[in-house]
Amino acid sequence: MIAKLPIPLQKKLTRLVSQCSIAWQLIEPNDRIMVAFSGGKDSLMLIHLLDSIRRIVPFPFEIGVFHLNQSAPDFPAKSQLDAIAAEGYTVWSEDLETANILAQKIKPGDSPCGLCSRLRRGIIYTQATKHQYNKIALGHHRDDAIETFLMNALYNGQLKSMPPKLLADNGVNTIIRPMLYIPEDLLIEASRYLEIPVSEQTFCTRGHSGERYATKLLLKEIEKKNPDAKGSLMAALHHVIPSHLLDEKLK
């Protein structure tokens, strides 16, 4: 799969992952990294790029692939897991009847996102611990970080986004996001070379009704007037000026 990417594109993607990893110490000697595999282009590209890094760093680390099946009909992950296993990766999955649980627990009109996220995290953390993986790699990219930043500001009244490295709430699992410096456009381009399907389909039953989709639309409108808007927002996440904010704890 690696040889199919044009060399300049492969080098650019690998360099961005390397920069993120070095800056935040994401990939270290003898790490056992579990990729949380959704079946979409991002998690497939994450496996590809972690393997690229593994081929060039002067130390060993392992990659395992875990898929949480949330009972989405015809979601492509099922057909992809065998192919990933055939390339030599340790692959396993777990089933979670998300829709039934949410239907029982969530009142009509309430958002299911919080409970759904907690259910997924709990199983992913448990699987990483059970199989002795010290880090969990998620396939979030630059656009995800930017959207999360805006969502938190617009809907939650907080200035925060997705950190490249985070100790989970349980105090055991370390979450890493090696692709956080990569624009989604580059991942889409690479996915086409590797014949990875690019689709907006997800397991989410809410479809395009949630806050993230609304934020995507907002960004598209902003980009019509400022094509560099996403780059500027990412730069803002790297250049925080506490003295010019209103949080009294920063005084």
> What domains sit in the chain, N to C, each tagged with a CATH number?
2-250 (3.40.50.620)
Query: Can you tell me the mean pLDDT for 92-107?
Result: 72
- Check whether 104 has a pLDDT greater than 80: no
Give the count of beta carbons closer than 10 Å to the beta carbon of residue 46. Answer: 29
d(CA 146, CA 161): 7
- Check whether 145 has a pLDDT greater than 70: yes
**Which pLDDT score, from 0 to 100, does residue 42 have?**
94
**Which pLDDT score, from 0 to 100, does residue 181 have?**
98
Tens-place pLDDT, residues 9-33: 999 999 999 999 999 999 999 999 9
- Check whether 76 has a pLDDT greater than 80: no
**Which pLDDT score, from 0 to 100, does residue 198 have?**
63
Mean pLDDT of the chain: 87
136, two tokens: 């969990």
Pairing of strands 174-176, 90-95: unpaired
Burial class from Cβ neighbours inside 10 Å (0-12, 13-18, 19+) for residue 157 reads exposed
d(CA 126, CA 128): 6
Q: What are phi and psi of 207, to 5 degrees?
A: 60, -125
Tens-place pLDDT, residues 193-219: 887 766 555 555 555 557 888 999 999
Q: What are phi and psi of 116, to 5 degrees?
A: -60, -45
- Check whether 119 has a pLDDT greater than 90: no
Tens-place pLDDT, residues 28-56: 999 999 999 988 889 999 999 999 999 99
**Which pLDDT score, from 0 to 100, does residue 102 have?**
65
**How much of the chain exceeds pLDDT 90, in percent?**
65
Residue 72 confidence class, pLDDT cut points 50, 70, 90: low
Pairing of strands 32-37, 135-137: parallel
**Which pLDDT score, from 0 to 100, does residue 109 have?**
66
Sequence-distant (≥ 6) Cβ neighbours of residue 195 within 8 angstroms: 4
**Which pLDDT score, from 0 to 100, does residue 163 have?**
96
Give the count of beta carbons closer than 10 Å to the beta carbon of residue 175. Answer: 22
**Which pLDDT score, from 0 to 100, does residue 83 have?**
87
Tell me the residue type at 24: W
Residue 151 confidence class, pLDDT cut points 50, 70, 90: very high
Burial class from Cβ neighbours inside 10 Å (0-12, 13-18, 19+) for residue 194 reads middle
For residue 39, what is the DSSP state? S
Give the count of beta carbons closer than 10 Å to the beta carbon of residue 47. Answer: 20
Q: DSSP string spanning 96-138?
A: --HHHHHHHHSPTTS--HHHHHHHHHHHHHHHHHHTT-SEEE-
Strands (E), the chain: 32-37, 62-69, 90-95, 135-137, 165-167, 174-176
Query: Can you tell me the mean pLDDT for 64-90?
Result: 80
Query: Can you tell me the mean pLDDT for 221-246?
Result: 96
Residue 2 confidence class, pLDDT cut points 50, 70, 90: very low
Residue with tokens 């890094």: 53
